[in-house]
Each structure stands twice: as C-alpha cells, then as structure tokens.
Chain A
Amino acid sequence: MTASYLRRVKVAEVERVASRIKRFRLVDVENKPLSEFSGGSHVTVCMRAQDRVIRNPYSLMGCPSDTSSYQISVLKVDNSRGGSQFMHDNVVVGTELEISEPLNLFPPAKLARKHILVAGGIGITPFMSMMSELDALGSDFELHYGVRSAAEGAFCKLLEARYGSRIRLYLQDQDQMVPLERILSNQRLGAHMYVCGPKPMIDWALRTATLAGWPDESIHSEQFNAPPIGKPFVVKLARSRREITVGGHQSILEALEQNGIDAPFLCRGGACGQCETEVSGCDGFIEHNDHYLSEAEKASGRKIMICVSRISGDAVTLDL
C-alpha cells in the first residue's frame, strides 16, 4: 500500500525569520481544519517545479493542537537539489502545494522524567512542536540551541519569551559551545536526550552521551538526509522488466516516480523504512545513506532504501 494521499494547501504567510531561513504558514485550500499532530512530526511537501516534482520532508513547528494552519521552516541550501531553493524563490503567499498527513519519527519519550533537547541551526524545527507539547503536559524540559550568530538563529527571541530559563542559546561567532558533557553528567535517572542538527553535531552529541554512560535507549536523534548527489546509473526492474536511468541529482524513488512507477514511500529521508526494496543484483556498490537498515542488512547488499541511497557503478536490479 503506498502512502500517496496528499492534502492541498495554500501558503497564507511567508516570513524571513533568519538570514537564510523562511517560515511558511500553510492552510487547507478549502479552509478545512487540518489534522492534529504530535510533537516532533513532519509532513512531506510536494512541489511541482517546471520540469519535475520535488518532495521534501519538513518538521511541523506550530502548536500541535492548532488545526487552523501548519508552519514549516526552510533553510536555503546552496548547491541543493532544488527543494529549498524552490521554496525560497518560487513559493509566495497564495501558492498552492500538496502535503502528506503528519508522520512522527521523532517523538518525545513518554516515559521520560526529563527531556534534554539539543539543537543546531535548522535542527531547531522538530523541537518547536515538541516543546509546545511538553509544555502543555507540564513535562520537565530544557533546550540547548547552538546557532552560528544571532542573525542566523531563528526563533531565539520567541523561544526565550515563551520558555524563559528553559532555553539556553550558544552563539558560535562568540565562541560559545554547548557544554554537553557537563549538562549530561549530573542528570537523575529518567532523563532523555534528543539531538537534531547537522550530521557532525549529531555524531558528536551521540558520542558524548555514550561516553557519559548514557544507555542507547535514552538517546534520540533525527536527521533527514536529502538524497546525496552522485553519478547517473541504471535501475533494472526485475518484475516489470523496465530500465530507468537515475540522474545525478535524482534519487531512485524520484526517477521511478518520473517514469510513472508507483513505489511505496513515506518520509523520503531514509528514516521510516517504508521504501525498503529488495536488491537482486548490483553492478557496482550500494551507497547506503539511510538510518533504517541495520549494519548487517547494509553489508548483505540485499536491501536498499530507494529514497536516499544510490549506487556507485553502472546498474542495480531491484525487485519491483
């Protein structure tokens, strides 16, 4: 069963919240209420560019119980595959888009006694709704938010106004670093840490927590991988006996969709597992870019997550 159900929305408001970040407010085209969602959820936004369809996941940032609109924030990435550029350059008030229903791959741990949120840059987005939810539930949380500079940090003032001393800001241009080791070293049992941001920051935070003796079960991270750019290759479809070329700036999933082939997907960021596909042959090496398959599964070469992974080589044969 594919998850291609989409809702039509239009942009009600666009705001530049930092030098490279824009916030978009989306409402249903017929002004119907949107679904409630849980803190940490995201939607996939479907953008119809001139020559192709781009689908990117963005965290929902508003209050989960507000069904009148959704808010997303988009960081403009240079040299990207076009999604963030499209949102920044082509999407204005009144633009119509399609979005998926909310999906949550980064929920707060309901059994935690305390939540320690660690954000870097645009990684703040999933924490916006999460804090809204935790605050409404009266849960204990604190946010440690690292930004390049005051000008690049989105929502700093808003967060401080809303949550006061529970927000700690660290400005990189003033050599302020998140003192994570100290933060983690003296927490009572029942604390959970969540990290979202650039990959090096996530890796550093996870390593720091492990070295502080935190068990894996208390450490959570979210990272959406945009499909990396690579060289073109051919996908052979064993069941439908077709051959499709995947362009250098395309994912396998996008190439399939462009050719009218319906493949299952949800998060499009290598996290949810929905697009797991059997590999029946590979003329080259699989470059696994997902967070879903186990190391053993990756090593076996029998499975691939077609939303983010590609191959270096000439061709791969999939059971599709």
Chain B
Amino acid sequence: MLVSGIKSRPVYPGLSPDPNARRNLIVCDRAGAEAVVELVARAGEDFVKRASVILVADDASSEEAAALQKKLDPVHVEVACSLDAAIAQLREILSGASMGLRLYAAGSEPLIGSVVQAGAENFIDPLSVRTEHRGSLMRRVQCVHCKGMTENVVTNPVKCAHCGLLLLVRDHYSRRLAAFQGVCINAEDPSDSPEPKVEFQ
C-alpha cells in the first residue's frame, strides 16, 4: 500500500475494464502483468478482442517474457526492451488514435507516471487512464535544485545523480514531470549527512 499525508500523492484505484471502449491499450511491466492477467480474466470477450498489451520486459528473461505472453493469450502482446522504448511505441500509437481508446497502466510508479504523461501529451485526461500499482515502490525523483531526474530510487535520502546533493524524497508528486520532488536534506547544516535508508523497495 502507498500511504501518505501529502495530497499530491497519486492514487491508483486498480484496473477495471471499460466495456464501452473501442480499443483498450494496456502498458505494464513484469509485476503489473499479473494485474493485467486478472483484468483479462474478469473482462468479457469483447474487451479481450479490443485489447492489446505493451509489456516492458527490462527485468525479465526472454523465457519469462514468453511465459507472460502465454498467460495473457489471446490478447496481443508486444514486448518492449525498456520503459523508454515502450513509451516511444505508446506515443506513436496515440498520435494517430481516436476517441474511444482507453489507456491502462499497471506496474511500478515510474511506469504509470510515464504512461499518464504520454497520454496527457496526446489529449488524454489523466483521470481517464485506469491504473494499478504493482511490484516495486521505487520512484523517479526530480532534484529541485538542478532539475535532473534520478531513476529507480529506493532509498531516502538519495544522492542526486546529476549535482550530487543529498536529497530528501518528498511525497509531493508532479504528474507533468511524472516524478517526486527531491530537496536537499542538509542545506541548513552540510556537515549533517543522514544515512540513506531503503524506503521504496
């Protein structure tokens, strides 16, 4: 569960099929694929006929990816080697898509954030993207000082991959940037260097 007192923290209500959608486009990673398997099992035949999946398989062997593809059968699955490749493919599809397309995202928060972001760039309201968080709690963090992004953050604080400042990862989240905010944790006393603890595994 993702819990926080900060209200900019996004909420992921879980995948549910839209029976009226003309086309269901689903992006997931290995962990999120389990949620998609459940979605497909729950949804009717019509939904399945209109659905296709982009699977980000950067942390899966080719055997694991093939096994997932089989589990999602008969839904058409495209395997992408990285999140960036999947998002590029998604953008390509969205640029020529029609109203009636419904977007779904399942997996880690950076994946969901990137899908919602690509949707918004193509006129899809973030509220109409159906999302479910699965697997790792790792985060994408933007350093408020140098604006650089640090990917796959599991500790708090974390060292900025660009300027090297030690950042407190706040629950404050920007949908536009698809990232959490990182603020220098020891600005008031640079000699104070709290040990990073694993918080987002």
* In the complex, chain B residues whose CB is within 8 Å of the CB of A179: none
> Does B97 lie within 8 Å of A188, measured CB to CB?
yes
**Option from A188, A189, A190, A212 in Cβ contact (under 8 Å) with B20:** A212
Question: How long is the Cα–Cα vector from A218 to B18 in the complex, in angstroms?
Answer: 15
Size class of the B contact interface (CB-based, 8 Å): 10 to 19
* In the complex, chain B residues whose CB is within 8 Å of the CB of A30: none
Question: How long is the Cα–Cα vector from A161 to B101 in the complex, in angstroms?
Answer: 36
Question: How long is the Cα–Cα vector from A90 to B96 in the complex, in angstroms?
Answer: 56
Residue of A nearest to B125 (CB): A217
Query: A184 at interface (Cβ–Cβ under 8 A)?
Result: yes
Query: A187 at interface (Cβ–Cβ under 8 A)?
Result: yes
Min CB gap A114→B, angstroms: 9
Query: B94 at interface (Cβ–Cβ under 8 A)?
Result: yes
Query: A216 at interface (Cβ–Cβ under 8 A)?
Result: yes
Query: B61 at interface (Cβ–Cβ under 8 A)?
Result: no
Interface flags, B6-30, vs A, CB<8A=1, else 0: 0000000000001011110000000
> Does B123 lie within 8 Å of A111, measured CB to CB?
yes
> Does A213 lie within 8 Å of B122, measured CB to CB?
no
Question: How long is the Cα–Cα vector from A182 to B100 in the complex, in angstroms?
Answer: 13
> Does B125 lie within 8 Å of A215, measured CB to CB?
yes
Residue of A nearest to B97 (CB): A189
Number of interface residues of A (CB under 8 A): 20
Question: How long is the Cα–Cα vector from A185 to B96 in the complex, in angstroms?
Answer: 15
Question: How long is the Cα–Cα vector from A250 to B159 in the complex, in angstroms?
Answer: 66
Question: How long is the Cα–Cα vector from A215 to B21 in the complex, in angstroms?
Answer: 9
Query: B62 at interface (Cβ–Cβ under 8 A)?
Result: no
* In the complex, chain B residues whose CB is within 8 Å of the CB of A189: 94, 97-99, 101, 122-124
Question: How long is the Cα–Cα vector from A191 to B21 in the complex, in angstroms?
Answer: 15
Query: A112 at interface (Cβ–Cβ under 8 A)?
Result: yes
> Does B98 lie within 8 Å of A187, measured CB to CB?
yes
**Option from B96, B99, B125 in Cβ contact (under 8 Å) with A187:** B99
Question: How long is the Cα–Cα vector from A113 to B18 in the complex, in angstroms?
Answer: 23
Question: How long is the Cα–Cα vector from A188 to B98 in the complex, in angstroms?
Answer: 4
Residue of B nearest to A212 (CB): B100
> Does A185 lie within 8 Å of B128, measured CB to CB?
no
Q: Given A111-B123, A210-B20 in contact, is the A215-B98 Cβ separation under 8 Å?
A: no
> Does A211 lie within 8 Å of B123, measured CB to CB?
no
25 contacting pairs across A/B (C-beta < 8 A): A111-B123, A184-B99, A185-B100, A188-B99, A189-B94, A189-B97, A190-B99, A190-B122, A190-B123, A191-B99, A210-B20, A211-B20, A212-B22, A212-B99, A212-B100, A213-B21, A213-B23, A213-B100, A214-B100, A215-B125, A215-B127, A215-B128, A216-B128, A217-B127, A218-B125
Q: Which residues of A contact B (CB under 8 A)?
A: 111-113, 184-191, 210-218
Q: Which residues of B contact A (CB under 8 A)?
A: 18, 20-23, 94, 96-102, 122-125, 127-128
Known interface pairs A185-B100, A190-B122; 17 further A-B residue pairs with C-beta atoms within 8 A, sorted by A's residue number: A188-B96, A188-B98, A189-B94, A189-B122, A190-B123, A211-B20, A213-B18, A213-B20, A213-B21, A213-B22, A213-B99, A214-B100, A215-B102, A216-B128, A217-B128, A218-B99, A218-B128
